[in-house]
Structure 1
Amino acid sequence: MMLSDSYAFQDIYKFHRLIFVNSAAYAYTVIRVDKHTALCGQNNLGKTSMLNALKLFLLPHENFKSCDKKFAFKGPAGTYYSTDASYSYYFPENHSFIILEAENMHGPFCLVLHRGNRPFSYGRMAVPCVYADIQHLFWDLESPINGGMGAPIEGISLSGVLSDLRARGGEAMNDGTVIRQRLFGQHALNREEGRFCLLPLRNGGTAREIDAWKMLIHLAFDIGAKDRRTLPDTIATIIEGDKDRKNAELSVSLSEILDDYESLKKEGDRLADIESARKPWELFDSQFQQFETKSELIVRNIVDVEYALAKRQSSILDEVKTASEGHQALEAAHSAKRQHHGLVKAEYLKLAGALNLRQKDLESAQKQLFKVSEILRRYPGKTEHEVRELLSDLSAELTAEVETLTNKAQSAEQLAQAIRSKNSLTHQRDQLRKILDEHVETVLEQVDRHSASVLSSLNSTLFTNLTPRLNPDQKQAIKEFGCLFQERDSFISFLSEETSFGFMSFDPTRARRQHEQDLIKLDDDIKDCYDLIQRLNDDSKLTAEQARDKAKKLNRERTETDEDVQLLSRHGYMRDQQKALDLEVGGQTVELAKLHKSVADAAGELEDLAIDAERAKEVLARVRKENDDLRSYLEQIRNLAEITLGFLSIRQMKLEARDTSFHPNQIKDISQFASEVAKSREALQVALDELLKRNLLEEEGRDFGYHAFHDLGRMRSCRKAFAAMFGTLEGEQQTYQSKVTAHNSNTSIQIDEIRHARRMIKEFEKEVDVQLSEFSVSDLEAIEIYCVLNPHFEELLVDIDSINLMTTGLHEKRLYERLRAFCTEFFVNGGRRGTTLDMSLLIDRVGYRYRKRGHDKYTEEDQSNGTTAMINCRLLSILLRRLLVANTQICLPLVMDELSNLSHLNLKAARGIAESEGFVLFGATPEPTSTIAKVIENYIDLSHFLATDRTYSHLRRVIYTGESESLRTKKDSADDAVEITAG
């Protein structure tokens, strides 16, 4: 961009190129930003987002949090993009980069933006070189793919790129303070600190300067001022930024003024109430002092008399104690002797009872032994063990028979089972008889001895009774099968592998003997089956009543049998028990005779002690009577202290008594004086109630009023509180007046601040109007700026001017009512937070007044978007000069979205104004119209450069690596056709 000669002596700060690598809608794009340029192309190619990306360099932020407030990225519908959406758009991956090539007096440099380590953060790397020196780190221009436009770097990574940039002298700037100091500080003469300065702010990049700069950036990106708050917020921030101190900014907290007023009003009312209660307080205080004098006198008398009574009673108590102890000792001895007599007698009775029980136990043991003898005699030739086994079997049979009688289904099942068992046993018996009587050989007898032993070991029950006739082949097969098994340590091994089967050597003679024994057993079992079948058949023919009778009879028989079994089981124990009981009964008989003599001796001693105890009881009654008389006097004096004069809390005083004598008449005198003190107490309470009605102590006073009558300590505390209140009243009144004076002074200062804010806005308008007077555009000969203040604020100033603020007491109530009404209208109803006024809240709207050529009057009629943009451009330049270091010129792109909406004349004028102020137009349009072509010679049609292969993502396909194309117009006339050539 060509700059005017007027800036030849100035320090120039230029932006040259903007590069996107795998960011936004771009795989790789290099754009010149130091020429008037129009971005063309269809929607969704990222034209507007490319323009907005400049904010990431121009604003000293390091993350996307609160993105709407920091960057104000807006979508087509006018809504702000979210933090997540903005961050993932500009930095979708770790190898996403946005690069700005810039230049200052110390030479060219690049700022490389990349993803940060924290959520939604991005980092800066400043490199002291032109972009061409580091271009190979981000894109392979030599690659033939994508139509020769190049390809991404294979294996590109964030850590690798940053490492290479550091090797070229790159410096990381990730801290907000560092960013402000290095990019926006005043370092014109210091090459080390100013090497990467983008914009040298006048005061070195203070926080307030940065706030103002942010507003100007938003204006530069909204040069048409479509957002109605852009100009008001910008102007408010600039005005405040001119102040020399941060605390000089407008910050009037109306709520603090109102709260302070309410607090002072409340305090003033309280002090007035206290002053009005001075006479009731003096009356209460006088009566309290009289009451205290009487109270001290009666308390002294009560304490002395009570002490005399207690002292006299103490001597009587010693006698009572001695008599009581003597009586108690005799009573204790008598009780102990009575207890001893009772214990001896109880022991005698206990031993007599125990002897009686042992004699009965001995008789019972003898009877049981006799019964055991009777049982054994019924089974001659049988041992005791055999008899017990026979009786146990009989009991089991009786139990089973009872079960069959009472359960028909079980009886039927038992009958069927008995028949099956009889049939099975009969079959086994017949088979054994055939083997024994007909000498039929079993399988085991037909094979060799080893094979027979193997089969018998595997299943003796099966093979012992099998009698089929084997042919030679079968015998050979069995022999071969047997050869697979061998005997090893009394177990069978199969193919040398040990098994769990024990080895049983087969003996035919022994097998025959076993068959004979089994046959005898089978005959007995078959007979038992026949007997059971017969019995079950007989039982089935009984009626229900007969069955029950028989069951009862069998149960009795079973019970008797079980008892006999138990006796036999305990036979040996009963013999031993009989011997032990014989010895025990003999010993107890001797011991019982000795105890009988001890009981007689204890009875004589008990009678003697009873006589002595009765005599001691008479002595004790006499001394107790004397003590009761003294207790009666003491009780009367204590009732006066604790009931009649309970409010004095005499016991808590702990006064030391004087040694005096006592006379019964003293009780009457003290009682009369106590009545007088009680009446004085009631009068004092009436005076206190009158004082408490004033509610001077608030919650504490209500507590005093409830408790003071019964708690003199509370009344004293109440008097102390009132004494402190009235004692400090004069000082509090003086302090209160000082607070009122300070409040009035502060309120006046705050209101002057509000008035001063209005004056500052008007002065700002005049200063800007002077600078705008040198500027004309289109058919406008003169332009003035004006700020429309909030109407509620204007009304507030008018009302305040009518109120006298020079008062010694609190300001008029009308002032605070007006401030409160303003807070309601302005903050609550206006939807604003808090109650603190600042400059931006005062300015509702910013507008221009215009005077056309040939006219005398100004008008506020809206101008075209182009005219407004040109005026805002001029205003932007004026405001920038307030912030930047003197003799500084920046080459800043002015962002104008939708260039096609401007007419040829407006666009041409906008270019001229931009050039005069050192700006370039940087805008977007769907296509390069002839109007744009006549004014802006450089354009880029992004839709012509789409990647065909190996892009980062299908969302990032735009690739542009060359210079912008040129639209050069013939100079014959403004309406000539446009000649388009490739740039």
Structure 2
Amino acid sequence: MSSFYFSYKRVILVDSADLCYAEIPLDEHAILLGKGNVGKSSILNSLRLFLLPEVNFSKCESKFAFRTSDKNSFYSKDQSFQHYFPSASSFLILEVENFTGSHCQILCRGTGYEYKRLFVPLPYNQIRDLFWSCCEDEDGIGQAVEGLTFPSVREKIKKRAPDTLVVNDTDKLQKMLYANDLLNDSETRYSLFPLVEQDNSKVNSLRALFLLLFDMNSNSSAMTKAIADIIEADKKSSNDILNFNIDDFLKKHEQLEQESKQLTIIKNQEIEFSHLKTKFYEYIQLSESDKKYANFMDSLFKEREQTKKDKKIIDDQIKPILKEIKELDDEFKTTNHKLIEVKAKIDTKTTDLKQAQSDFDKGHQIWQQFYISLTINNAIESAQQEHLEKTSQLSALNSEIEAQDQRNKLKNNITIYQNSIARFEESSKNKQFILAEQLEKPVASILASINKRLIQANPNKQLEIDDIEAINRFSSLFRNSGVSFDFYDMSFEKRSVDIFDDLEQQIIDIKEKLRKDKNTLSRLQQSNNSLHRQKDIQELEKTLEDLKLKMETLRKYPIAEANIETFRNQLNDMGIDKRNLEAKRTLIENSLFNKNKKHSALRPKQEVLEEKLVTLIGLEERSKILKGRYKRLKDIESNTTHFYQKTNISINSLNEIEDELSRFDELRNQIILGLHKFISEHIIDDEDNIRVDAPAAKSIKNTFKRLQEIFNELPQKRTILDEQILTHNQSVAQYTNVLTSHEKYIEAFKNQLNRDFQNIAINDLDKIEVNIEVDRRFRNLVAEINKADFHSDESLSSRFYERLKVFVNSFFNEKNSSRLTMDKIVTGLNYRIKKKGSDAWQTKKQSNSTTALINLELAQLLLRRIKKSGCTVTFPLIHDELADINIDQFDWLLPHLNKQGFRLFSAATYSASSELIHKIGNYHEIGSMKTARSYSADRTIVYLGGAEKFLTTEEARKMNIIFAEHPEIIFPNN
């Protein structure tokens, strides 16, 4: 089941239709059983009153179609009203449950032939006690409620459900009963059947379908009328009345012929009028030349004043902008000059930084390469010392006195070096006597920190105890601070006590010095003129240059190192100044750009206005000259304040005005002569008396206007005449189209039904086709209409008029309306079928059973067409003649109806077979219970409680039920 469902739960009749009280479920297949005239059919037919949006029984025969027992006529409004609402205590109640909840629709007697309708948002079990008292009688069937009337019920229900509605308007009922907005609970609260569209055509279709559900015999006129009503309801237009006079069309034709001759006569004068019209149009245009001058002068004055105002506005806008531009330009120059100075300083300081970095790199390289073990100052001293030595050597090579002095020094150094080597070598042999080996390590560490040579001393014997104690006492004067030994206010960095590598290195170093000095002594002992000495001199000179460069580079090294940091800080500060100035300059540039942009945007306007003002002043002088030439312009200029219009201001416009003034008088005379000619040829009457010597301008215009209307209307009149002929033909076509459209409606409806039946299988039928029979006279006339040409500009033949007249006279009589509706055209409905396993169509009249099944399927199909998609409606399908359906077809029919959302609701007398009752499954026996406590002595039948049904053998034995003769059929023991 869809989430949007609509289910009919029960119908209740209170003091209505020969019944005192009856409560019948509608949500399962059921049959009403009982003798004749106990109200079975009345219960079935009462549903029409709920389903249709009506408020009275007027035109009851067509509105509700309650058939009499002989099926040949209908109950009147009086009979129907008195049957269902015989008293003030008569009520009809329908309980419906949809996806918004349960509600009850209550009908009761009104004034005249009206009935009232309440919508109660409660299930029936919550209001049952208002209509029937179930527990206050000894028989257990209940009794009437005292004082039951509409006012009392309404008052009590309002207390239980304040939202109860009383609705007596057909339009509102239609919207409520067939509401289809599934997402609006309040709107669909009381919906019984959600229509796909709530237009009148769909509502009328639903009306016809509801009535069809109560009369399913296709051979009856009711079935034919129902199908016709459904087709009629689907029609889009009601403009289908046949009501016209053939003689009027013939007279109209003669009138059109006479008008055609008159228009031909006027056509012969068309060329002559064309020449006059050209002159008159020019004359009319030139007649406004004096006004043009006045308008020109007015517009010129206004334009000049407005131009002055506009120029002043632009000037006022430009003046402050130019001032701001100058101020910004001065500020830009100042800022840019400062920026140039900063950039120059940055360039100078960058050069200094590069030089300092170069000096640092060179000094660092020399230090790393030659003096890595020395501090910078010691490296400089070492280079200076070496420079002195090399200088001394060079002097010795160049001076014998200095050479001799140098040789003596070298010899002395050689002796000292040899003695030191001998001493170190001797010490190496007696390593065990070196002080570093004889002293305790903490004491040796202190001496090594002072001078490592102290612990390298070797007395070549074991120290005396006094000597060791003296050294220890001296060492005790030092304080260990962790990284150094402090002697009063002096600190000595801790050094390693490992001396043997140092001794070996010292021996190597002394031997190297010894070698160098011997080589130098050897060179000094050579002859002054030897090539070796000259080479040595050159090498020494080059060495001295290198040493000089090293000394200079080393001296710059610490200075450069300090300058790099200083220069970088200065460059950073200068960079900040530069960025600030650049940012300021950018802001000024942007402001200057915007101001210049504004000025550039305004300046063209200023130039245009300046140029325009010069032009306007020139035009003003030129127009004054023209006014002096044409004296009448002075008067027109002073008297035309009411027709001033804005005019194009240019020298060409002024020249054009002057030419028009001259041409105007010439054309006026020519037009008067031309009009005289048309009057003399009787084309137009001289109504305005223009044949005087000086006719007024108004008379000339009026005469020409009347003449122009004659010729201007000539094509239109010819077109109108042709259209009148065509319209004359088509006016007939409009009426005949009503006839042909009815045939199209029928054919389209039939085709749609047959397309739907292609997807439907009924019992043993393989295919089903519907045929709608149409009146023969109607078909013959439509065939003849299709041959006629209604779009010709020639009149239709008299034979056609006569044929149409015969049809109208024969098809409609004086009593019937000339409105052509489907019930006058559709004469019958029949089917042809093809059974499973057979290829042949059967066109003969089908059995009542087959016809009833097809009718039931047709009703379902038509209901689905107008039901809103996406929702489920569990609908009681009325069939009052179950005997028309073969008993073996119920095994297919009932599950099929269930699947389609329908519940078979039928009635029969006790003559109905038990097998039929068994097939349906549920039955309600009407008339077997009566009460003495009824609302009226005329209506005592009561029915309430659930349906009865057949039981299985096992169920029956458990309930101690008496068996019938046939064990497969079991009745409850009442």
Q: TM-score, normalised by structure 1?
A: 0.49
Structure (1 or 2) with the larger CA radius of gyration: 2
Q: TM-score, normalised by structure 2?
A: 0.50
